[in-house]
Amino acid sequence: MRATPLVPPIKCQGIKTKLVGDIADLAGELPNGRWIEPFCGSGVVALSLQPKRALLCDTNVHIIRLYQEIQAHKLDAHSVRQYLVEHGDKLRTIGEDYFYEVRERFNQSPNSLDFLFLNRSCFNGVMRFNRSGKFNVPFCRKPERFAPAYVTKIVNQVLAVAKVLSVSDWEFRVADFKQALACAGADDFVYADPPYAGRHTDYFNGWSEQDEIDLADTLAGLPCRFILSTWHSNQFRTNQLIEQNWSAGDFHVFTKAHYYHVGAAEELRHPMLEALITNFGHERTDAVREGQQQFLFVEQPRAQYIS
Ligand SMILES: C[S@@+](CC[C@H](N)C(=O)[O-])C[C@H]1O[C@@H](n2cnc3c(N)ncnc32)[C@H](O)[C@@H]1O
């Protein structure tokens, strides 16, 4: 059964809502141990697959704080609704200056409700921080942003997260990927979705070729199964790091075309071939897949890693 995405209350660059079904398919049975995500981002993958036990890490303290507060009931449907109605009203009355007031306040003294407000009313619904770690996305120019239906949608997303967390044994931790992966044992499963090298770079998303190599080395040495998300190619470029890092050893590369709806102009215009790299194979079970609308990932023969 393909997992249906549980849409989280926050959005981020490279969010994998559209790949959740494929990741679930490829992962197969959930692990006896923990589902580990060293780059949890919006959390959409874990929230949709709903493993019983999970370790979800990210260097972005604002994301982790938000989920920790939902988990601890410090932030719930009631407080989110109250906040969004009050501050949505101010945005409507004062206009975009109010967005910048909240942004300034958040950058002086970060808190989860302002973070949610900014993430859901900024341009393109992205999450970007400047070199000093300050949120710097401009306003989306819709003073009516927090209309009642939109507030209800966000409140329901928070409720859905709270519901999953109430029946799960999950830990959210601010950690670098190396610390997160050092926790992996033989019964765990790792889903790694790092920033794409050379794209979307900001305070929390600086990602170099060396990081990619370090990640590949760490993943290759894991005692458990893993899936690594990366990009394979678009019309203009091919990810040379796939061949460089993954052509030796028993790894598998699956690809699928995917359109991004947020991000740089190049990605908006052109499909990106996504890659999922694993240290385990995958048998096609076509009967299960019949009638499914989404394209499935296709395994790339080794010789065609680089097209
Ligand atoms: C592509 S996003 C993950 C998207 C996520 N899978 C989703 O569907 O929403 C990458 C995430 O990695 C985090 N990150 C960047 N560098 C990191 C590092 N060195 N260690 C851990 N997390 C990092 C970023 O803050 C960002 O949230």
- How much distance in Å is there from the Cα of 285 to the middle of ligand 1? 31
Most ligand 1 atoms within 8 A of CB, residue of 16, 205, 260 to mutate: 205
Helix (H, G, I), strand (E, B) or coil at 278: strand
Tokens of 63: 């994301």
Tokens of 238: 């091919």
Note the Cα 32 to chain centre separation in Å. Answer: 23
Cβ(10) – ligand 1 distance below 6 Å: no
Contact 180, 57 (CB under 8 A): yes
191 Cα nearest atom in ligand 1:
6
Full pLDDT tens readout for the chain, 307 residues = 457 899 999 999 899 999 999 999 999 999 999 999 999 999 999 999 999 999 999 999 999 999 999 999 999 999 999 999 999 999 999 999 999 999 999 999 999 999 999 999 999 888 999 989 999 999 998 888 999 999 999 999 999 999 999 999 999 999 999 999 999 999 999 999 999 876 656 778 788 889 999 999 999 999 999 999 998 888 888 888 899 999 888 899 998 876 554 454 544 556 788 999 999 988 754 433 433 333 456 776 665 554 3
- How much distance in Å is there from the Cα of 173 to the middle of ligand 1? 12
Cβ(192) – ligand 1 distance below 6 Å: no
- How much distance in Å is there from the Cα of 180 to the middle of ligand 1? 12
Q: pLDDT value at position 197?
A: 73
- How much distance in Å is there from the Cα of 194 to the middle of ligand 1? 5
What's the sign of the alpha-carbon dihedral 187, 195, 246, 213? negative
**DSSP string for residues in 51-65:** -SEEEEEES-HHHHH
Looking at the domain covering 70-163, what would its CATH class be?
Answer: mainly alpha
45 Cα nearest atom in ligand 1:
8
Cβ(45) – ligand 1 distance below 6 Å: yes
Check residue 140 and report its DSSP letter.
-
Question: Which region, left, alpha or beta, applies to residue 306 given φ > 0 means left and ψ of -120 to 50 means alpha?
Answer: beta
Looking at the domain covering 17-59+175-304, what would its CATH class be?
Answer: alpha beta
Q: List the chain domain ranges.
A: 17-59+175-304, 70-163
Q: pLDDT value at position 143?
A: 84
